[in-house]
């Protein structure tokens, strides 16, 4: 199969088959446990589920099939690859603080355990400098679990905000790939300017994607 055909399949799935990528936290809470796993439906059942999800999330009539823009294709990544990219974005945001701040031993251990010491080492030591936006975990540094979840949520938010210019049809489907409220919905968005977007886009395309999700490098 050619890369163009693979891309077309991803775009069609993204638009028409949310059952293929929706996180279970988005399914109705009153559904029985057996119905919360799309894999149990069979092909015919999943097609019905897809239509129901499009209607439930008001996605019918809101389509986007133009993925000529390379950066826009980040939204087509599967949930596990997107989560890894979001973690990378979170580490980017906190890189200076993690390298130079007063990080407690327990907090650093929790971050290494949650995201993997090799990934953290890559972000802190090998990744190109990222100065477009910076955050700290100073308020959370004595609460390791909170520090991990804050870093993760901010990374998801930064990645989502990077894709906002590509429109609601993309963003609303992208959200379904993350756990519900995963991007810290109460937090103000990162209003990235042109220079900040350019710096982040270059980092994603030239470093994070080929280094951290190399199986998907063909997409870009």
On whether the pTM is more than 0.85, the answer is: yes
Enclosing domain of residue 157: 3-219
For 12-30, the pLDDT digits (tens) are: 999 999 999 999 899 888 8
Residue 185 has pLDDT above 80, yes or no: no
For 46-83, the pLDDT digits (tens) are: 999 999 999 999 999 899 999 999 999 999 999 999 99
Question: CA dist 184 to 146, 179, 198, 211, Å?
Answer: 13, 11, 24, 27
Q: If you average pLDDT over every residue of the chain, what do you get? A: 92
Q: What whole-number distance in Å separates Cα of residue 144 and Cα of residue 109?
A: 8
Residue with the larger pLDDT of the pair 39 and 49: 49
pLDDT computed for residue 184 by the predictor: 62
For 73-87, the pLDDT digits (tens) are: 999 999 999 999 999
For 130-155, the pLDDT digits (tens) are: 888 999 999 998 999 999 999 999 99
In this prediction, residue 114 has a pLDDT band, given cuts at 50, 70 and 90, of very high
Return the half-sphere exposure (C-beta side, CA atoms, 13 A cut-off) of residue 184.
19
pLDDT computed for residue 155 by the predictor: 95
How many CB atoms are located within 10 Å of the residue 118 CB?
9
pLDDT, mean of residues 81-99: 95
Give me 39's structure tokens: 């894999």
Q: What whole-number distance in Å separates Cα of residue 95 and Cα of residue 116?
A: 15
Q: How many domains, in total, are found in the chain?
A: 1
Residue 36 has pLDDT above 90, yes or no: no
**CA torsion sign, 33 to 37 to 38 to 43?**
negative
Q: What whole-number distance in Å separates Cα of residue 161 and Cα of residue 171?
A: 9
Contact 49, 38 (CB under 8 A): yes
Give me 25's structure tokens: 């936290």
- Could you tell me how far CA 32 lies from the centroid of its own chain? 28
Helix, strand, or coil (residue 82): helix
**CA torsion sign, 99 to 104 to 108 to 111?**
negative
List alpha helices for 94-143, DSSP H: 95-100, 105-115, 117-121
pLDDT computed for residue 39 by the predictor: 80
Helices and strands (H and E) in the chain: how many:
10, 0
Output helix, strand, coil percentages for the chain, rounded to the nearest 5. Answer: 70, 0, 30
Contact 50, 15 (CB under 8 A): no
């Amino acid at each position: 199969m050619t890369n163009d055909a693979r891309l077309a399949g991803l775009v069609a799935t993204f638009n028409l088959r949310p059952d293929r990528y929706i996180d279970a936290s988005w399914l109705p809470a009153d559904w029985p446990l057996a119905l919360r796993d799309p894999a149990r439906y069979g092909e015919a059942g999943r097609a019905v589920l897809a239509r129901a999800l499009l209607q439930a999330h008001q996605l019918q009539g809101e389509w986007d099939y133009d993925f000529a823009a390379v950066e826009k294709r980040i939204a087509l990544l599967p949930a596990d690859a997107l989560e890894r990219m979001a973690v990378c974005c979170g580490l980017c945001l906190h890189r200076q603080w993690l390298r130079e701040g007063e990080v407690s031993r327990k907090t650093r251990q929790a971050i290494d355990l949650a995201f993997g010491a090799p990934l953290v080492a890559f972000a802190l030591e090998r990744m190109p400098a990222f100065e477009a936006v910076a955050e700290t975990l100073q308020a959370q540094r004595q609460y390791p679990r909170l520090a991990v979840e804050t870093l993760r949520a901010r990374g998801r938010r930064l990645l989502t905000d990077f894709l906002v210019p590509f429109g609601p049809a993309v963003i609303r489907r992208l959200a379904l790939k993350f756990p519900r409220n995963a991007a810290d919905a109460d937090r103000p968005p990162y209003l990235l300017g042109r220079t900040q977007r350019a710096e982040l886009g270059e980092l994603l395309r030239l470093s994070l994607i080929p280094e951290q999700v190399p199986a998907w490098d063909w997409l870009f």
